[in-house]
Amino acid sequence: MASAVGADETGDRRNVSDAAGVVVLGSCAAWSLISAAVHAGRPEGVLLAILAVAAGYAAGRIGGALLPVAAPCAGALGGVSLTLTVPHLAPGPQIVTPLGHAGATAAVLTLSAGAACCAAWAASAPALRLALRALAAGIAGTAAALGSTTGFVTCTAVVLCSLAAGHLRRRGVGIAALALTATAVTGLIWAAAGNVLPDGVASWLEGRLTEHRIELWQDALHLAHDDLALGVGPERFGELSTTATGTLLSDGKPHSAPLQQAAEQGVTGVILLAAAFCWILFALWRTARPTPVALTAGAALTAVAAIAAVGNALSFTSVSVGAGLLAGLATARPLAGGSAEREIDVRARGERKVP
- What pLDDT, in 10s, does the model give residues 227-248? 898 999 999 998 888 888 877 6
Distances (CA, A) of 266 to 24, 32, 44, 236: 16, 10, 17, 13
Number of domains composing the chain:
1
Where does the pLDDT of residue 14 fall: very low under 50, low under 70, confident under 90, or very high at 90 and above?
A: low
- 294 lies in some domain: yes
- What is the distance between the alpha carbons of residues 338 and 265, in angstroms, rounded to a whole number? 43
For the residues 117-145, what does the mean pLDDT come to?
Answer: 95
- 180 lies in some domain: yes
Rounded to whole angstroms, the maximal C-alpha distance in the chain is: 69
- 353 lies in some domain: no
141-176 burial by CB neighbour count: b if 16+ within 10 A, else e?
ebbeebebebbbbbbbbbbebbbebbebeebeebbe
| Of the candidate ranges 59-63, 102-106, 287-291, the one whose mean pLDDT is the lowest | 102-106
| Residue-wise pLDDT tens digits, 45-78 | 999 999 999 999 999 999 999 999 999 999 999 9
Predicted pLDDT of residue 249: 64
For the residues 124-132, what does the mean pLDDT come to?
Answer: 95
pLDDT score of 99 more than 60 = no
- 157 lies in some domain: yes
- 40 lies in some domain: yes
Residues 285/171, Cβ–Cβ less than 8 Å: yes
Distance from chain centroid for Cα 157: 14
- 236 lies in some domain: yes
Give the structural domain span for 277: 2-348
pTM (two decimals): 0.89
- 59 lies in some domain: yes
Q: Cβ–Cβ contacts within 10 Å for residue 104, how many?
A: 26
- 354 lies in some domain: no
pLDDT score of 100 more than 70 = no
- What is the distance between the alpha carbons of residues 106 and 117, in angstroms, rounded to a whole number? 17
pLDDT score of 106 more than 50 = yes
